[in-house]
Structure 1
Amino acid sequence: MTAPAQVAHLTAVLPRMLDDLETLVRCESPSADLDAVATSAGVVAELGTARLGVRPERIVIEGRTHLRWRLGDAPARVLLLGHHDTVWPIGSLARHPFSLVDGTVRGPGCFDMKAGLVMAFHAVAALPDPSGVTILVTGDEELGSPSSRWLVEEEASACAAALVLEASADGGALKTARKGVSLYQVEAYGRAAHAGLEPERGVSTTVELAHQVLAVGALPDPERGTSVTPTVLTSGHTTNTVPGAGRFAVDVRVRDAAEQSRVDRAMRALRPVLPGARLEVTGGPNRPPLEAGSSAGLFARAVRLADRLGLPEPVGAAVGGASDGNLTAGVGTPTLDGLGAVGGGAHAEDEHVIVAELPGRTAVLAALTEDLLADPPPRAGARRTGSARPPEGDRS
């Protein structure tokens, strides 16, 4: 199929794409509801089977349902990655029903990222030979991929490139870099005492944590894009007691692996200030950064292919949020993210998808997948943050 014919074909099947999107949006799939996610996986599996002609493998880990299509007999070369869980609780459809008005689709999860799944199925269905393509659809990404992380890393490690169907950045930009994430808990232990009768006998964790919050607050490096943010803090239980235990959480975002390591060393070097106090620092790097070097080659291909298709030149954007694209980049697989829908309002009441962008966007995805199958890029070195493989779980 020639480039212009591919765009014309996907334009012609746009009504079917919209029907598919409505089917997925109308099946609510909040991440924490295992039954809802299992039901959603069934709907996604049926829709993907109808478009691809192949049933997926259903993988259940810790009660969470994921789907994997490995297409053809060729070794895996290109991973298309998405998720079917959302942040929206059951009942959200009653307040924000699916709608298609004036060229805009609305509904919970339409932008993040059920439209991306529809695009993946239709892009692969448009390929003359999808052999070597793996499609992985996880069911817990919005929770930080607690059960699917090893699965994402395993599939990415076997492929030459990962294309992530998360929604676009502002204005339809592809996501060429994402910050890495580290998460910590700083716990302080002191000695409780009556605040009125004998406060001098106490060791206050409120005071200790105040010292530690200031120490952590000195770790950011704005010039390097590093944020280190103390967030939720608790200490003690009653107003007339010197608190003997407390804790606070820390959210870290970094552009590069060196900064993630620097902050990690500094967090583990924290020491108590008050005599008699004790500290415990737990947590650490959660997702490595998706650095611009991981996406540069794939982005250049996307620009070239969009020109061949007669479509506007894509633009790239670095974003602060993390996705499973951080994991694929972390194992050394060239990764391009934000290839999904154009729209906005992720996780918000104005979540929406711009219909007119779907055919061209899907055509670029199809062309990029085909190009990578024919000419896979070299892999980079792995930068794993470490994740143990859980039990295999149920497969069907």
Structure 2
Amino acid sequence: MLADLEELVTCESFSTDHASVTRSAEVVGALGKRLLGTEPETVVIDGVTHLRWAFGTPRVLLLGHHDTVWPIGSLRTHPWSVADGIARGPGVLDMKAGLVQMFHALASLPSMDGVHVLVTGDEEVGSPTSRKLIEEAARACRAALVLEAAADEKGALKTARKGTSRYEVVVHGHAAHAGLEPHRGVNAAVEAAHQLLAVAGIGAAMGAVGAAHPVLGVSTVTPTLLSAGSTRNTVPARARVAVDVRVPSVDAQEWIDELMHALAARVPGARLEILGGAQRPPMDPVSSTDLFALASRIATGLDQEPLRAAAVGGASDANYTAAAGCPTLDGLGAVGGGAHADTEHVEVSRIVPRARLLAQLIEKTRRWPDRRSPA
């Protein structure tokens, strides 16, 4: 398994570099063919390469991704290594170790009938080209098992996730010479400063309301990227403020959308354009209840430590499968820490036990007579 993991990690696959994602898909596809005994179906949408395997009538969906957030060349500064029981390298935790565990778990089964495997190539950028594939697969299956990394270094499974929205507040002003006639300009940078504070105010208000609201819960509204202007001696004609939103409910997502579109310009002559909106819907904890209970029973039978559940702020493709009405359990991948950071790592000793847990979970869920009948 470590040799397979090294092969995946050392094939870089930065989400926005479609050529690297294509190369990665070839490596993942070859690994899958060796362990599963069959070639994948390769699906290319808008230049992004996804992989599918289907065995009989689909009943359980195994979902993962092979793209990473690490730019090409990251291996030079974050090389693959295994030392003191820790594996490191770009994307090792998120989520190439999860893919290795998935393939080996499947290879250990007496039959893969009823299993549908989907490995996407754009999860880290919001799954714009794979969302339809994910939702179609989820609607056809009785359960979705998602191979994202565990919620923490103790191995907690992810039973709920916040939904996400992304916005860009575009400010349209009017350029003028900053020294000769600044009064003739409409300063988009100044207007952007007003909007930055207004967006932060929405976040503060949602936090205060969510702390006591039983439905909305705590939402976050965070200004992130900020840009303005073209040259040092020109009144800025354009400015942009990017906004990241995380919500525990659809109600909160819709409310924040209304507040974002209600933003109004403060500087005379400035005009606002609000781009973006809801991206991933929240993953309701109800969607994971039966699967988590089943996984807990399996862990006990394997003499593994009791499983823990965790609700997390980050989103994944599990949000899509749950919203499609498919019971979903996430965080079944590797145990480690530091995803997307210099400290990204996987605990080697946990790889095989997690694969064994997954194998039995697949075996049980593929036998479910319907979505309401846990084994």
- State the match for 2:10 in structure 1: 26
- 2:180 matches 1:208: no
Q: 1:100 aligns with which of 65, 82, 93?
A: 82
Q: 1:71-130: per-residue Cα shift (whole Å, max 9, x none)?
A: 1x2x21111011112222333333333222232222222211111111111111222322
> Which runs of structure 2 are paired with 1:222-241 in the superposition (5 Å)?
222=207, 223=211, 224-241=217-234
- Structure 1 distance, partners of 2:186, 2:96, is 52
Q: 1:183 aligns with which of 153, 159, 166?
A: 166
Given the two structures, how large is their TM-score scaled by the length of structure 2? 0.90
Alpha-carbon distance change, 37 to 76 in structure 1, aligned in 2, over 3 angstroms? same
Q: Is the 8 A contact 1:189 1:205 kept in 2?
A: yes
Q: 2:175 aligns with which of 189, 192, 200?
A: 192
Q: 1:134 aligns with which of 97, 111, 116?
A: 116
Q: 1:153 aligns with which of 107, 130, 135?
A: 135
Residue 349 of structure 1: CA displacement? 2.6
Residue 227 of structure 1: CA displacement? 0.8
- Structure 1 distance, partners of 2:369, 2:67, is 30
Residue 282 of structure 1: CA displacement? 0.9
Aligned partner of residue 172 in structure 1, secondary structure: coil
- State the match for 1:64 in structure 2: 48
Q: Is the 8 A contact 1:88 1:108 kept in 2?
A: yes
- State the match for 1:388 in structure 2: none
Alpha-carbon distance change, 376 to 32 in structure 1, aligned in 2, over 3 angstroms? farther
Q: Is the 8 A contact 2:227 2:240 kept in 1?
A: yes
- State the match for 1:251 in structure 2: 244
Query: What amino acid is the match of 1:102?
Result: D
Residue 244 of structure 1: CA displacement? 2.8
- In structure 2, the gaps of 5 or more residues are 212-216
Query: What amino acid is the match of 2:159?
Result: T
Deviates more, 1:365-374 or 1:92-101: 92-101
- 2:112 matches 1:112: no
Q: Is the 8 A contact 2:175 2:186 kept in 1?
A: yes
Query: What amino acid is the match of 1:39?
Result: R
Q: Is the 8 A contact 2:142 2:368 kept in 1?
A: no
Aligned partner of residue 21 in structure 1, secondary structure: helix
Q: 2:261 aligns with which of 268, 283, 302?
A: 268
- State the match for 1:43 in structure 2: 27
- State the match for 1:387 in structure 2: none
Alpha-carbon distance change, 235 to 159 in structure 1, aligned in 2, over 3 angstroms? same
- Structure 2 distance, partners of 1:247, 1:302, is 45
- Structure 1 distance, partners of 2:155, 2:308, is 8
Count of aligned pairs between the two proteins: 361
Aligned partner of residue 116 in structure 2, secondary structure: strand
Residue 239 of structure 1: CA displacement? 4.0
- State the match for 1:385 in structure 2: none
- 2:310 matches 1:317: yes
Q: Is the 8 A contact 1:77 1:376 kept in 2?
A: no
- Structure 2 distance, partners of 1:245, 1:26, is 41
